[in-house]
């Protein structure tokens, strides 16, 4: 599953070399970025390309994440579950426990 945030990061950090296009699987376009990386123009093209790619979530998912929406929902669910269970691992302080002062 391709993440739009990674596309934006790859395009802004290494877009002149076509890193975002390699990540998305567009090897033909990525090669063009590599061929013209010495010009410096491709860095601006990469930023504009990333903005266009991440502009619409529906179009991005339809093109690069077709058939993977179930995985995204499951992943989001596990993130929420993990957020809510963080307090389970912290030590609890109750009145009269051996760890804390007794009132």
Neighbours of 29 (CB within 10 A): 14
Q: Are 24 and 2 in contact (CB under 8 A)?
A: yes
Q: Is 81 helix (H, G, I), strand (E, B) or coil?
A: helix
Q: How confident is the model at residue 67 (pLDDT cuts 50, 70, 90)?
A: confident
Q: Quick one: pLDDT at residue 28?
A: 92
Q: Is the pLDDT of residue 99 over 60?
A: no
Q: How far is CA 40 from CA 1, 15, 36, in A?
A: 30, 10, 8
Q: How confident is the model at residue 69 (pLDDT cuts 50, 70, 90)?
A: low
Q: Are 18 and 31 in contact (CB under 8 A)?
A: yes
Whole-number average pLDDT of the chain? 74
Compute and round to an integer the Cα radius of gyration of the chain.
22
- Tokens representing 58 are 């529906």
């Amino acid at each position: 599953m391709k993440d739009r945030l990674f596309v934006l990061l790859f395009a802004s950090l290494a877009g002149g070399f076509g890193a975002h296009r390699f990540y998305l699987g567009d090897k033909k376009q990525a090669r063009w970025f590599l061929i013209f990386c010495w010009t410096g123009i491709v860095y601006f093209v990469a930023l504009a390309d990333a903005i266009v790619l991440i502009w619409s979530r529906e179009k991005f998912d339809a093109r690069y994440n077709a058939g993977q929406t179930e995985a995204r929902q499951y992943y989001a669910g596990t993130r929420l579950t993990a957020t809510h269970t963080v307090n389970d691992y912290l030590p609890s302080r109750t009145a009269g426990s051996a760890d804390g002062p007794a009132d």
